[in-house]
């Protein structure tokens, strides 16, 4: 009632903009960023074709916004988890399982889209599989600190392993996490069988199973020489 017209306009603006971002995430994930057209995205968002060019400058700017919007909360949650662990253990090493869980849980829990799918995961898999300058810059900005922080914590927890081996195993872990979440997306399961069906697994189980596998992998004896440092 007391809402002015400009407030309504501003509310409407934010709404269309947000709807465009959500629709773009889904269309990008399902059809590929390059193949996705502004017509599909705007139709899915219930907006006009010209809306993307009005709210974002271009398709590229929309892509940037979508990526940053869906990555930020996941990585913020990871850092929050890890900060809590650091606070709890002070200078001492953090138990391996806890570090891995801080890496796994936010990605499993916060990458679910409004339809129960894994659009965010499939989008990340896409831009990782297809390195392009623009998306790589975004990934670097979003993930660089995370990687450094986790590898540092892992180095303290696993003093017998060198940095090179920890970095490598950390990337093994990232691959395992992302691929399984991509496969679990119902949108990917409709299609002809890729790999194995994993039906009836709740997210909590996924976390526990990933943590068990990855922690065991990290506990394997090191093969590379440990550098001083």
Partner DNA sequence: GTCTATAACACGATAGAC
Partner DNA sequence: GTCTATCGTGTTATAGAC
Q: Of these partners, DNA, a copy of itself, none, which one is at the site of residue 174 (CB under 5 to 8 Å by kind)?
A: a copy of itself
Structure tokens at 89: 């253990």
- Cβ burial of 181 (10 Å; 0-12, 13-18, 19+) is buried
Instruction: Indicate the residue among 10 and 201 with the shorter CB distance to a copy of itself.
Output: 201
Q: How far is it, in rounded angstroms, from Cα 39 to Cα 74?
A: 29
Nearest approach, Cβ of residue 89 and DNA (Å)? 48
User: CB–CB of 95/154 below 8 Å?
Assistant: no
Q: Of these partners, a copy of itself, DNA, none, which one is at the site of residue 39 (CB under 5 to 8 Å by kind)?
A: DNA
Q: Of these partners, DNA, a copy of itself, none, which one is at the site of residue 175 (CB under 5 to 8 Å by kind)?
A: a copy of itself
Q: Of these partners, DNA, a copy of itself, none, which one is at the site of residue 220 (CB under 5 to 8 Å by kind)?
A: a copy of itself
Nearest approach, Cβ of residue 28 and DNA (Å)? 11
B/e letters for 73-89, b = 16+ CB within 10 Å, e = fewer, are ebbebbbebbeebbeee
Q: Of these partners, DNA, a copy of itself, none, which one is at the site of residue 57 (CB under 5 to 8 Å by kind)?
A: DNA
Number of residues that bind DNA (CB under 7 A): 22
Structure tokens at 217: 């992998």
Nearest approach, Cβ of residue 2 and DNA (Å)? 19
Binding site for a copy of itself (CB under 8 A): 31-32, 34-35, 122, 125-126, 128-133, 136-137, 139-140, 143-144, 147, 151, 164-165, 167-180, 182-183, 187-188, 191-198, 201, 205, 208-210, 212-221, 223-224
Name which of residues 153 to 192 contact DNA (CB under 7 A): none
Q: How far is it, in rounded angstroms, from Cα 145 to Cα 134?
A: 18
Instruction: Indicate the residue among 90 and 133 with the shorter CB distance to DNA.
Output: 133
Name which of residues 23 to 82 contact DNA (CB under 7 A): 36-40, 47-54, 57-60
Angle at 71 between CA 69 and CA 74, to 5 degrees: 120
Check residue 13 for interaction with DNA (CB under 7 A): yes
Q: What is the 3-state secondary structure (H, E, C) of 106-173?
A: HHHHHCCCCCCCCHHHHHHHHHHHCCCHHHHHHHHHHHHHHHHHHHHHHHHHCCCCCHHHHHHHHHHH
Binding stretches for DNA (CB under 7 A): 9-10, 12-13, 16, 36-40, 47-54, 57-60
């Amino acid at each position: 009632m007391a809402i002015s017209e400009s407030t309504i306009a501003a509310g409407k603006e934010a709404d269309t903009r947000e709807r465009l971002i959500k629709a773009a995430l889904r269309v990008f994930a399902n059809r590929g960023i390059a193949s996705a057209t502004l017509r599909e995205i705007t139709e899915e968002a219930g907006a006009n074709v010209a809306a993307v060019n009005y709210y974002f400058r271009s398709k590229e700017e929309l892509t940037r916004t979508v990526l940053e919007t869906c990555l930020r909360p996941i990585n913020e949650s990871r850092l929050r988890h890890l900060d809590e662990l650091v606070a709890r253990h002070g200078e001492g090493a953090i138990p391996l399982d806890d570090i891995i869980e801080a890496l796994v849980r936010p990605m499993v829990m916060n990458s679910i889209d409004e339809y129960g799918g894994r659009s965010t995961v499939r989008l990340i898999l896409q831009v990782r599989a297809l390195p392009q300058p623009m998306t790589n810059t975004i990934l670097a900005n979003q993930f660089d600190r995370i990687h450094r922080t986790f590898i540092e914590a892992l180095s303290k927890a696993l003093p017998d392993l060198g940095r090179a081996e920890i970095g490598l195993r950390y990337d093994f872990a990232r691959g395992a996490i992302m691929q399984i979440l991509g496969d679990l997306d119902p949108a990917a399961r409709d299609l002809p069988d890729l790999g194995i069906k994993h039906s009836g697994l709740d997210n909590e189980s996924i976390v526990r199973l990933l943590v068990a596998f990855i922690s065991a992998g990290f506990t394997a004896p090191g093969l590379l020489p440990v550098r001083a440092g």
